[in-house]
């Protein structure tokens, strides 16, 4: 039903398709099994240990072929390659396209292609048993937690790939073909473990023709936004809605405004769990701005209970003017959006004149995390697959197939694109180096949940901006004080 | 004779052992492993674990979401079994004794068989599908529930059912009751059908009204079924995972108001990569379920009513 929702890099996968096969989704143990297990359970430690008995003995020497100018990573020419991709909104045609290029380069190798949805559930046992595939697209609601994988030493450092010459131009390293922030997005503890294939930008979406018809101009600061909302409301259209069932969507405009007002230092303080970081004035101001939308009745009534599909459908039907979302929205709304709707994305308005970053600053992050497991049978092949995938031809094909910006710079240059993708591309160009990304969502998933919950309450005015900051700060302090949580800094 | 008996046991063992073996591998062993994992910091992907003793259980006590889950599961436990059994008994009684045939004959309402099938229908749907359907029903703007309320002029009763922390849990409880009441109606109905007609007719001839027959004759005779139903429904109320995960805001929200233990367990294991902690939640849930089963079966033990 809602398989389309490319999880952003770093968003806690609390949403998405229902985990029908989840371990607790059955109605629980029956009375008899409970009683019987109780009798035997405690006395059966002999059975225990099975799940954690994966071998940690010496790493098997992975096959490596001759290194040459045409084969800089030393891929063994005839070793099979196993690719596992997430079969979500982007489908898997882009991956099979890259695989056929790979096979063209290594005709002796067979490629085992698997497109699945529950990446985590399918691969967790294979990671434990140290028999993982060679390259994995760790994406979707059921993906494996990256920080956990890294802490367990299950991933290959991708530095070698980044420093290898790109497929298109031997004079340019792979590293230098990527959009800003892509390498940093895949970095944990100073090492690069994932390479994200899509480039996601967050902003506010609206229908260009709808705005033109009413003579509404896209606001570049919050005062103008409130004034416009008043106009929109008078025209009988709800000014805003959000994907209330998943309040994290509303975090995007909130945190983006705060980042613009407070600058990179604010983002850094938040990510580094500094004491009082969430009580910084720009965050409070941004929270106040969002709460004001609700306070002035600018939110579509009932938004707080709408799923992303429901809220976005209401918006596509022209009942609502603005919706916050990432750049996957256009592809996601294909089929439910009437012709001539011509959606475009605008950068989140500035909070005020004193903002440290300019209006065009965008919150951007790469997603669709490709990784190469450390114990893969053919890790060189896995790296080479990524070199092929991140080549401009393969990236361009992806953009054509999915109306989505790949994380390879210039991949869509000269391509005729839809209104949405065109506006996203323009926003990336206008932002230049001014992109911000919060990392706390990837690093501390429980904190992300606390922020989402608080924002949901803020948007329904059940808590004040001050209470919003207080409870998130408390959650951040708890994470900071928890010695069991591995800490990261930027 | 002895040889015969020996052969019988061998046959029985041959029939039972394969089942027991499967049960040990796929039921008992995971249970045992969960107990062990609850004492570790296993992340779910690593082969290496460290024993952390009772640390995970100490964390449970301080985890606000786990405490919210305990509260919510507790409320569901109070409401769902009682409401389901009450409605199930009422419907079963109506189907079996609601009508009157002749002057003293006791019979069901007209079309009783049809109602049995109709009410049983939700049992045929899997819980996630039910949850998806009810999410549409509860839709604040286009849902059937608010639509009906508005159509009959009760606009002031229309709510964002799943978006209001005071209502969301009851919306979930309603779905749980709706989805199980049909099954228990059929169960109780079968039990009531097995009550000999002459007993009922004798009560009616003695001048007992329908309510008196129900309370004094029928209920004592289906008591065992009710007791078993309570245990099953209690387990259902202690779970609630599927409905909450699919239907609610967050899920588990708004703001933890529909958090249940199973959801926290799932989130900690599969989102946070804290399988050890999740296993501790599982162990806690296990003992809660066990305690419920023991209490329900003990408390309900009373002298059996013998019919013969």
Tell me whether A460 touches chain B (CB under 8 Å): yes
Cis check: omega of the bond before B251, within 30 degrees of 0: yes
Q: Looking at the structure, tell me whether residues A374 and A353 fall in a common domain.
A: no
What pLDDT score does A55 carry?
Answer: 46
- CATH code, domain carrying A296: 3.40.190.10
Give the residue on B whose Cα is nearest the Cα of A44: B32
β partners of residue A436? A363
Residue B304 pLDDT level (bands cut at 50, 70, 90): low
Do residues A275 and A416 share a domain? Answer: no
Taking an 8 Å cut-off on Cβ atoms, the answer to whether A33 and B27 are in contact is: yes
Give the C-alpha separation, A245 to A15, whole Å: 9
Mean model confidence pLDDT for chain A: 85
Q: Looking up tokens 């994290």, which residue turns up? A: A248
Q: Which residue has the tokens 């005709």?
A: A107
| Domain match, A346 and A379 both | no
DSSP state of B51: B
B232 contact residues in A (CB cutoff 8 A): 30-31
User: Is the same domain home to A370 and A284?
Assistant: no
**Would the CA dihedral through A207, A210, A212, A217 be positive or negative?**
negative
Where are the extended beta strands (E) located within A28-89? 81-86
Tell me how close the Cα of B90 comes to any Cα of chain A, in angstroms: 25
Chain A residues 240-269 with a CB less than 8 Å from chain B: 244-247
Q: Is B242 on the interface with A (CB under 8 A)?
A: yes
Examine residue A70 and state whether it is found in any structural domain, yes or no: no
List the one residue out of B284, B298, B289, B181 whose CA is nearest residue B235.
Answer: B289
**Residue in B32, B140, B250 closest to A47 by CB:** B32
Cβ within 8 Å, pair B270-A54: no
Phi, psi for residue A23 in degrees, rounded to 5: -65, -25
Which residues in chain B have their CB less than 8 angstroms from residue A453's CB? 250, 253-256
Report if residue A45 sits inside a domain.
no
Decide if B289 and A130 are in contact by the 8 Å CB cutoff: no
Q: Are A41 and B35 within 8 A, CB to CB? A: yes
Nearest one of A200, A199, A192 to A162, comparing CA atoms: A192
Do A264 and A183 have their domain in common? no
Q: What is the dihedral of CA A284, A290, A291, A295, to 10 degrees?
A: 140
Domain boundaries, chain B: 54-299
Cα→Cα distances B100→A90, A111, A221, A489, B39, Å: 63, 73, 74, 77, 62
User: Does residue A326 share a domain with residue A232?
Assistant: yes
DSSP state of B39: T
- Burial of B9 by CB count in 10 Å (0-12 exposed, 13-18 middle, 19+ buried)? exposed
| CB B210 within 8 Å of CB B107 | no
Strand partners, A111: A81
Residues 134-173, chain A, touching B (beta carbon < 8 A):
142, 144-145, 147-149, 151-154
The answer to whether residues B111 and B127 touch, using CB atoms and an 8 Å cutoff, is: no
Q: Does any CB of chain A come closer than 8 Å to the CB of residue B264?
A: no
- Check CB contact of B136 with chain A, cutoff 8 Å: no
Q: Do B234 and B148 form a contact (C-beta atoms < 8 A)? A: no
8 Å CB contact of B45 and A460: no
Distance CA A176, CA A182 (A): 10
The C-alpha atoms of residue A163 and residue A214 are separated, in whole angstroms, by: 52
Q: Is residue A314 part of a domain?
A: yes
User: What pLDDT does residue B300 have?
Assistant: 66
The answer to whether residue A43 is domain-embedded is no
The answer to whether the CB atoms of A302 and B160 lie below 8 A apart is yes
CB A368 within 8 Å of CB A197: yes
> Which ipTM was obtained for this model?
0.84
Q: Which residue of A has its CA nearest to B34?
A: A48
How far is the alpha carbon of B7 from chain A, nearest alpha carbon, in Å?
A: 27
Residue B282 and residue B32: Cα distance in Å, rounded?
Answer: 11
Q: Is the separation of the CB atoms in A65 and B58 below 8 Å?
A: no
Tell me if residue A367 falls in helix, strand or coil: strand
B172-216 confidence digits (pLDDT tens): 999 999 999 999 999 999 998 888 888 888 888 888 887 888 888
Contact check, Cβ <8 Å, B33/A56: no
Structure tokens at B51: 């024993």
Query: A154 and B254: CB-CB below 8 Å?
Result: no
Q: What is the pLDDT of residue B282?
A: 94
Question: Please, which residues 49-108 of chain A have a Cβ atom closer than 8 Å to chain B?
Answer: 49-56
pLDDT tens for residues B47-56? 778 888 898 9
A13 touches chain B (CB under 8 A): yes
Question: What does the alpha-carbon distance between residue B52 and residue B62 come to, in Å, rounded to a whole number?
Answer: 17
Residue ranges in chain A modelled with pLDDT below 50 = 1-49, 54-58
Contacts of B255 in chain A (CB under 8 A): 453-454, 456-457, 462
Do A337 and A220 share a structural domain? yes
Return d(Cα A131, Cα A85) in angstroms, integer.
17
Residues of A in contact with B48 (CB under 8 A): 52, 56, 152
Q: Hey, what CATH class is B54-299 in?
A: mainly alpha
**CA count, 13 A, side-chain hemisphere, A410:** 5
A392 and A295 in one domain?
no
Chain B contact present for A34, CB below 8 A: yes
Q: Which residues pair with A115 in a beta bridge?
A: A85
Which residues, numbered 220 to 239 in chain B, qualify as contacts with chain A under a Cβ-Cβ cut-off of 8 Å? 231-232, 235-236, 238-239
**Confidence at residue A44, expressed as pLDDT on a 0 to 100 scale:** 39
Q: Which residue has the tokens 């006395």?
A: A43
CA A387, CA A153: separation in Å to the nearest integer? 23
Contact A209, A340 (CB under 8 A): yes
Nearest chain B alpha carbon to A310: B139
Kindly state whether A113 is in contact with chain B, defined as any CB-CB distance less than 8 angstroms: no
d(CA A163, CA A196): 16
A103 with A159, same domain: the answer is yes
Range of the domain at A415: 81-199+365-421
Q: Find the closest chain B residue to A127 by CA distance.
A: B45
Task: Give the A:B interface size as CB pairs under 8 Å.
Answer: 214
Distance CA A159, CA A301 (A): 49
Looking at per-residue pLDDT, the higher value among B105 and B247 belongs to: B247
The answer to whether residue A150 is domain-embedded is: yes
In a domain, A38, yes or no: no
Chain A hits for B291, CB-CB cut-off 8 Å, are: none
Query: Which of A304, A305, A315, A445 to probe the B interface (max B CBs under 10 A)?
Result: A305
Q: Are residues A24 and B41, on separate chains, in Cβ contact within 8 Å?
A: no
The DSSP bridge pattern shows strands A187-188 and A135-137 to be unpaired
pLDDT digits 0-9 by tens, B75-116: 999 999 999 999 999 999 888 877 665 544 566 777 778 888
A412-441 pLDDT, tens digit per residue, is 888 888 899 899 999 998 998 899 999 998
Asked if the Cβ–Cβ distance from A35 to B165 is below 8 Å, we say no
Distance CA A371, CA A79 (A): 19
Residues of A within 8 A of B179 (CB-CB) are none
Shared domain for A216 and A312, answered yes or no, is yes
Across the interface, whether the CB atoms of A53 and B47 are under 8 A apart is answered yes
Give the integer Cα–Cα distance in Å for A207 and A342: 6
Residues A361, A372: Cα–Cα separation, whole Å: 32
Which residue among B40, B47, B250 sits closest to A14, beta carbon to beta carbon? B250
Contact A302 B42 (CB under 8 A): no
Check if B255 contacts A (Cβ < 8 Å): yes
Give me the residue label for tokens 């131009």: A169
Clarify whether residues A340 and A459 are in a common domain: yes
Q: How many domains does chain A have?
A: 2
Q: Are residues A110 and A143 part of one domain?
A: yes
């Amino acid at each position: 039903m809602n398989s389309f929702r490319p999880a952003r890099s770093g968003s806690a996968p609390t949403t998405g398709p229902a985990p029908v096969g989840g371990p607790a989704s059955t109605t629980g143990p029956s009375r008899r099994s409970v009683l019987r297990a109780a009798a035997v359970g405690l006395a059966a430690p002999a059975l225990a240990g099975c799940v954690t008995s994966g071998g940690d003995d010496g790493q098997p020497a992975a096959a490596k072929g001759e290194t040459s100018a045409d084969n800089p990573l030393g891929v063994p020419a005839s070793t099979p390659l196993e690719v596992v991709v997430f079969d979500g909104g982007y489908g898997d045609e882009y991956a099979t396209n890259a695989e056929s290029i790979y096979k063209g380069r290594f005709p002796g190798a067979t490629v085992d292609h698997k497109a699945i949805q529950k990446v985590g559930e399918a691969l967790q046992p294979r990671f434990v048993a140290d028999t993982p595939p060679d390259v994995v697209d760790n994406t979707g609601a059921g993906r494996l937690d990256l920080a956990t994988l890294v802490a367990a030493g299950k991933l290959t450092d991708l530095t070698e790939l980044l420093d290898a010459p790109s497929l298109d131009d031997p004079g340019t390293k792979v590293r230098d073909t990527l959009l800003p922030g892509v390498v940093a997005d895949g970095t944990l503890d100073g090492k690069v473990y994932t390479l994200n294939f899509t480039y996601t930008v967050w902003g506010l979406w609206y229908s260009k023709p709808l705005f033109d018809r009413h003579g509404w101009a896209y606001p570049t600061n919050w005062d103008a936004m409130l004034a416009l909302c008043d106009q929109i409301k008078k025209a009988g259209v709800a000014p805003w809605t959000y994907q209330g069932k998943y309040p994290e969507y509303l975090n995007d405009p909130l945190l983006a405004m705060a980042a613009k007002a407070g600058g990179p230092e604010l983002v850094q303080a938040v990510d580094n769990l500094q004491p009082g970081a969430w009580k910084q004035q720009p965050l409070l101001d941004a929270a106040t701005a969002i709460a004001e939308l609700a306070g002035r009745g600018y939110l579509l009534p009932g938004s707080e209970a709408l799923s992303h599909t429901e809220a976005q459908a209401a918006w596509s039907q022209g009942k609502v003017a603005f919706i916050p979302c990432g750049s996957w929205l256009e592809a996601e709304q294909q089929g439910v959006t009437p012709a001539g709707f011509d959606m475009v994305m605008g950068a989140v308005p500035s909070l005020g004149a004193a903002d440290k970053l300019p209006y065009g600053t965008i919150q951007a992050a790469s997603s669709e995390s490709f990784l190469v497991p450390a114990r893969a049978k053919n890790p060189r092949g896995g790296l080479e697959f990524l070199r092929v995938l991140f080549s401009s031809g393969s990236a361009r094909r992806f953009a054509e197939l999915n109306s989505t910006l790949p994380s390879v710079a210039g991949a869509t240059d000269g391509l005729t694109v839809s209104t949405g993708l065109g506006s996203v591309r323009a926003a990336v160009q206008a932002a230049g180096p001014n992109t911000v990304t919060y990392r706390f969502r990837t690093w501390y998933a429980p904190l992300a949940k606390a922020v989402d919950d608080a924002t949901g309450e803020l948007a329904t005015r059940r808590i004040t901006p001050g209470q919003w900051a207080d409870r998130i700060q408390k959650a951040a302090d708890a994470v900071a004080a928890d010695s069991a949580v591995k800490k990261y800094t930027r | 004779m002895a040889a015969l008996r020996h052969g019988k046991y061998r046959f029985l063992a041959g029939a039972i052992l394969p089942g027991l073996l499967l049960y040990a591998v796929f039921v008992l062993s995971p249970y045992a492993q969960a107990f062990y994992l609850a004492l570790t910091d296993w992340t779910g992907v690593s082969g290496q674990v460290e024993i952390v003793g009772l640390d995970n259980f100490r964390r449970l006590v301080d985890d606000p979401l786990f405490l919210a889950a305990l509260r919510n599961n507790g409320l569901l436990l109070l409401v769902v079994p009682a409401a389901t059994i009450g409605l199930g008994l009422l419907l079963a009684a109506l189907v079996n004794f609601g009508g009157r045939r002749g002057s003293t004959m006791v019979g069901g309402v007209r079309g009783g068989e049809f109602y049995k099938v109709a009410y049983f229908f939700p049992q045929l749907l899997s819980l996630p599908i039910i949850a998806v359907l009810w999410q549409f029903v509860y839709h604040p703007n286009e849902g059937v529930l608010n639509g009906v309320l508005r159509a009959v002029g009760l606009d002031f009763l229309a709510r964002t059912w799943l978006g209001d922390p005071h209502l969301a849990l009851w919306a979930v409880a309603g779905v749980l009751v709706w989805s199980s009441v049909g099954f228990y109606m059929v169960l109780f109905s079968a039990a009531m059908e097995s009550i000999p007609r002459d007993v009922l007719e004798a009560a009616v001839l003695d001048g007992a009204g329908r309510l008196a027959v129900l309370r004094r004759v029928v209920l004592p005779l289906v008591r065992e079924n009710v007791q078993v139903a309570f245990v099953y429904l209690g387990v259902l109320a202690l779970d609630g995972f599927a409905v909450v995960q699919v239907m609610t805001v967050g899920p588990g929200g708004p703001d933890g108001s529909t958090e249940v233990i199973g959801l926290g367990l799932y989130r900690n294991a599969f989102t946070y990569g804290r399988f050890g902690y999740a296993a501790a939640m599982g162990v806690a849930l296990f003992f809660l379920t066990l305690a419920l089963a023991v209490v329900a079966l003990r408390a309900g033990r009373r002298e059996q009513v013998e019919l013969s």
